[in-house]
Amino acid sequence: MAEELSITATGKEEKYKQLLPQIKSLLQGESDSIANMANVCAALKYGMNFLWVGFYLVKENELVLGPFQGPIACTRISKGKGVCGKAWETSETVIVEDVELFPGHIACSSLSKSEIVIPIIINNKVVAVLDVDSDELSSFDQIDRYFLQEIINLIYL
């Protein structure tokens, strides 16, 4: 395993394309999902320069904060609440271009401007969500959705 990520591209899609194989080798041979989620957070935060990257895990009837990188975050989110709770409730990816315009958005950091949340579904049940925040408006689109889903698929093989 390389000790450092190597991202030379400047465009988003190219960055993801460089990052994906590096994350793949980072996770290879490790079966612990918490360890893999933790390294994925670091790789995405530092490889893509996001404000906040983290997982919330479904525990009983709440989302509970899991591995993350970035500013401190709220620890528990109810079903249907905020962007994360919405992605859990609907089992759909939610892309928010301007968090101030999303009803019920939970502001963990005042620096967060846009957000994507992808549900992680195993046997038709959401078991966790991946939440990525940006300090710029409209940062996320179908490119992020595609590559973040590919990265999730590497964690839960």
Asked whether position 148 contacts ligand SME by CB under 6 A, the answer is: no
CB of 23 to ligand SME, least distance (A): 21
Structure tokens given for 86: 């919405």
In the complex, residue closest to ligand SME by CB: 82
- Report the distance separating Cα 54 and Cα 69, nearest Å: 6
Q: Is 73 in the site for ligand SME (CB under 6 A)?
A: yes
The answer to whether residue 20 forms part of the interface with ligand SME (CB under 6 A) is no
**45 touching ligand SME, by CB under 6 A:** no
C-alpha 92/C-alpha 117 separation (Å) is 9
Confirm or reject binding of residue 105 to ligand SME (CB under 6 A). yes
Beta-sheet pairing, 125-134 with 52-59 = antiparallel
Among 50, 27, 31, 47, residue whose Cα is nearest residue 39 = 27
Q: Does 77 bind ligand SME (CB under 6 A)?
A: yes
Q: Does residue number 66 form part of the binding site for ligand SME (CB under 6 A)?
A: no
Question: Closest Cα to residue 87, out of 123, 66, 63?
Answer: 63
Number of residues that bind ligand SME (CB under 6 A): 16
A 10 A CB-CB count for 59 gives 12
Give the footprint of ligand SME on this chain (CB under 6 A). 52, 54, 73-74, 77, 82-85, 105-106, 108, 112, 115, 131, 133
